[in-house]
Amino acid sequence: MTTRYDTLKKKIHGKDTALLLVTIFSLTPVSPAIGHVAQVPYKVLLAMESDELDCGRRGSIRDLTDSTKLIFDGVSSPLKEVLMVSVGKTMRLAMTNLQNTDILFALGSHPELVNYGRLLQKQRDTQLVSPNIVAIAAQEHTQLIWQFTRVGEFEITAFQRDRYGRWQAGVTGKIMVQPTEP
């Protein structure tokens, strides 16, 4: 007899997952490109299937090549100008939230971030779980070490709650990943 757990285990066997809730929660497929939604009482967790995204993957502190500071004050862009990075480089993004509300920092391509925004607007209590998303509490700081593995133009966005408790896209910035020079 095949149980639901065995069926789900076969579906994700061999894949890197950002969140393993298979043993506790039931998973409902959203889209093969997006990931899975785990239904939790009063929360919806969206888990991305792969650690490799359009903009790259989590990096290791041992491979760190550069660092930049991002300050989220709710008014100005965290990046004063377009950040230029070479493909293959690993960068530390040191983030500080100066606001009185929590924010979700997201790094990705424009379509990815638009999709995240749609998912957050549909469910007030949605919590995205992905390697390129970091929650930053009010008046706190954190970091994301990221390896840029593909050439392209990527964006950063700070999602924050409006006065009604809905997530909205806030300030943004651009990161250009260029090919390495020989």
Q: What is the pLDDT of residue 50?
A: 58
pLDDT computed for residue 51 by the predictor: 65
- Bridge partner list, 174: 155
Q: How many CA atoms lie within 13 A of 109 on its CB side?
A: 12
pLDDT digits (tens), the chain, 182 positions: 555 444 444 444 444 343 333 323 333 334 344 444 444 444 555 555 556 788 899 999 999 999 999 999 988 888 888 999 999 999 999 999 999 999 999 999 999 899 888 888 887 776 777 888 999 999 999 999 999 999 999 999 999 988 888 888 888 899 999 998 76
Q: What is the largest CA-CA distance in the chain?
A: 59
Q: What are the b/e assignments for 98-128, b being 16+ CB within 10 Å?
A: ebeeebbbbbbbeebbebbbebbeeeeebbb
Domains of the chain plus CATH, in order, are 53-103+136-178 (2.60.40.420)
Strands of the sheet containing 133-136, edge to edge, are 83-86, 167-178, 152-161, 103-108, 133-136
